[in-house]
């Protein structure tokens, strides 16, 4: 065991504070990483506040982790000391269910292990995330990071990137696809960049007129102000696919109306109240509404390679570790363009 400096939430209401955690020594297949940068995901805030009723404390958040390999177990084949590497939302799964065997570890039917807030499969205790100096995981759950990518700006790819890439890939978005991206935030801005790189015609759907310039800068071909009835009317029945990134409560039905027949709206945000969707809005048009969760390890590596090929990273604001509580306050107000990333040298 080794002691590692970290920042932790000790309960649902107190600010995050400096904390010391214990990391295990590398097992034969483990890769140990010195964390250089860690992205701040909205899920971190939800977990700290126990909004989803599954948090245990002390809680060290962070699942957008990039750094350098400092040690490897005797049986590790994929990494060597000095390599750039990353860890996303998962550090283990059962490996045996049908989904795991297909590389869909995010849908492990026996329960995957989260990078933080989970329990180690061997019963050794809770997992702790990337708001810390180092982390280790089985090599199968560690990802290669290209030297082509800006390391700090690549960190959010481990969650925001794969969360938007996975549904776009699964629904075969490409040249000729008409894609609407709902919500221009940490997820939405990645959705725009990735969908454009895939060859789609991309329209940003937003209720904030001031976001039009930024949407166009990110690559969106069109912008629709969703509070303007005339603009909305022009795209009614227009889209093949809508990527809904909004986590606040909103009316799904108004956006289902924008789909063409056989179109699909995929939700990657997590509002806390149930959706009310009359079946008429789906049946008359053979429309679908679906959900999608991050991606498995093979697809996450594919996404990282795709982003390296197309020079895609997140738009970020780098912060010091000591400023995490202020960052959380700003995150609740959507006051960031578009992802906070912690420089772990400041811990």
Are the C-beta atoms of residues 65 and 89 closer than 8 Å to each other? Answer: no
Distance CA 123, CA 126 (A): 8
Question: What is the fold, at CATH topology level, of the domain defined by 2-159+315-346?
Answer: Quinone Oxidoreductase; Chain A, domain 1 (3.90.180)
Whether 329 shows a pLDDT value over 90: the answer reads yes
Q: What is the pLDDT of residue 124?
A: 81
What is the SS3 assignment for the chain? CEEEEEEEECCCCCCCEEEEEEECCCCCCEEEEEEEEEEECHHHHHHHCCCCCCCCCCECCCCCEEEEEEEECCCCCCCCCCCEEEECCEEECCCCCHHHHCCCHHHCCCCCEECCCCECCCCCCECCCCCECEEEEEHHHCEECCCCCCHHHHHHHHCHHHHHHHHHHHCCCCCCCEEEEECCCHHHHHHHHHHHHCCCEEEEEECCHHHHHHHHHHCCCEEEECCCHHHHHHCCCCEEEEEECCCCCCCHHHHHCCEEEEEEEEECCCCCCCCCCCCHHHHCCCCEEEECCCCCHHHHHHHHHHHHHHCCCCCEEEEEHHHHHHHHHHHHCCCCCCEEEEEHHHC
**Per residue in 213-242, pLDDT tens?**
999 999 999 999 999 999 999 999 999 999
Residue 273 has pLDDT above 90, yes or no: no
pLDDT at 311: 96
Residues of the chain with CATH 3.90.180.10: 2-159+315-346
Decide if pLDDT at 270 tops 90: no
Q: What is the pLDDT of residue 175?
A: 97
Confirm if 174 and 200 have CB atoms less than 8 A apart: yes
323, pLDDT greater than 90: yes
- To the nearest whole number, what is the mean pLDDT of the chain? 96
Q: Which of 86, 85, 89, 81 is nearest to 129 (CA)?
A: 89
pLDDT band at 287; cut points 50, 70, 90: very high
**Percentage, residues of the chain above pLDDT 70:** 100
State residue 2's pLDDT score.
87
pLDDT (mean) for 298-322:
98
Give the total residue count for the chain: 347
From-to residues of CATH 3.40.50.720 in the chain: 161-291
Is there a cis peptide before residue 76, judged by omega within 30 degrees of 0? no
Q: What is the pLDDT of residues 8-35, one digit of tens each?
A: 999 999 999 999 999 988 899 999 999 9
Greater pLDDT, 1 or 324 = 324
CA pair distance 69, 34, nearest whole angstrom: 6
Q: Is the pLDDT of residue 121 over 90?
A: no
pLDDT at 25: 86
CA-wise closest residue to 292 among 147, 173, 131? 173
Given a cut of 90, whether residue 57 has pLDDT beyond it is yes
pLDDT in tens, 157-205: 999 999 999 999 999 999 999 999 999 999 999 999 999 999 999 999 9
Judge whether residue 112 has pLDDT over 90: yes
pLDDT over 90 percentage in the chain: 92
Mean of pLDDT values over 300-319? 98
> Per-residue pLDDT averaged across 48-61, rounded?
93
Fold designation for 161-291: Rossmann fold (3.40.50)
Checking if the pLDDT of 292 tops 90, the result is yes
Q: What is the dihedral of CA 194, 234, 211, 198, to 10 degrees?
A: 10
Q: Which residues pair with 7 in a beta bridge?
A: 18
Whole-angstrom distance, CA of residue 185 vs CA of residue 336? 8
Q: Is the pLDDT of residue 248 over 90?
A: no
- Give pLDDT, residue 268: 96
Q: Which residues pair with 343 in a beta bridge?
A: 37, 320
pTM of the model: 0.95
């Amino acid at each position: 065991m080794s002691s590692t400096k970290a920042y932790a939430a000790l309960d649902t209401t107190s600010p995050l504070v400096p904390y010391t955690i214990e990391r295990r020594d590398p097992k034969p297949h483990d890769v140990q990483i010195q964390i250089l940068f860690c992205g701040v995901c909205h899920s971190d805030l939800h977990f700290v506040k126990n909004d989803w009723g599954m948090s245990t404390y002390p809680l060290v958040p962070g699942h957008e982790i990039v750094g350098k390999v400092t040690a490897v177990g005797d049986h590790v084949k994929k990494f060597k000391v000095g390599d750039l590497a990353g860890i996303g939302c998962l550090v283990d799964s059962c490996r045996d269910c049908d989904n795991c065997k297909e590389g869909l570890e995010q849908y492990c039917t026996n329960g995957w292990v989260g990078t933080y807030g989970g329990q180690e499969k061997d019963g050794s205790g809770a997992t702790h995330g990337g708001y810390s100096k180092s982390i280790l995981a089985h090599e199968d759950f560690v990802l290669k990071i290209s030297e082509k990518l800006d390391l700090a700006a690549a960190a959010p790819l481990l969650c925001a990137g794969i969360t938007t890439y996975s549904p776009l890939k699964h629904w075969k978005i490409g040249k000729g696809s008409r894609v609407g991206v709902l919500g221009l935030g940490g997820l939405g801005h990645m959705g725009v960049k990735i969908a454009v790189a895939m060859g789609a015609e991309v329209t940003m759907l937003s209720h904030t007129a001031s976001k039009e310039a930024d949407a166009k800068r990110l690559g969106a071909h069109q912008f629709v102000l969703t509070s303007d009835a005339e603009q909305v009317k022009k795209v009614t029945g227009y889209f093949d696919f809508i990527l809904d990134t909004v986590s606040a409560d909103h009316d799904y039905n108004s956006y289902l109306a924008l789909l063409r027949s056989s179109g699909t709206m995929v939700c990657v945000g997590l509002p806390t109240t149930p959706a009310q969707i009359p079946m008429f809005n789906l049946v008359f048009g053979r429309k679908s509404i679906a959900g999608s969760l991050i991606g498995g390890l093979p697809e996450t590596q594919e996404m990282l390679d795709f982003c390296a090929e197309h020079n895609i990273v997140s738009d970020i604001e780098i912060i010091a570790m000591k400023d995490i509580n202020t960052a959380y306050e700003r995150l609740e107000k959507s006051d960031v363009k578009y992802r906070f990333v912690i420089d772990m040298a400041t811990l």
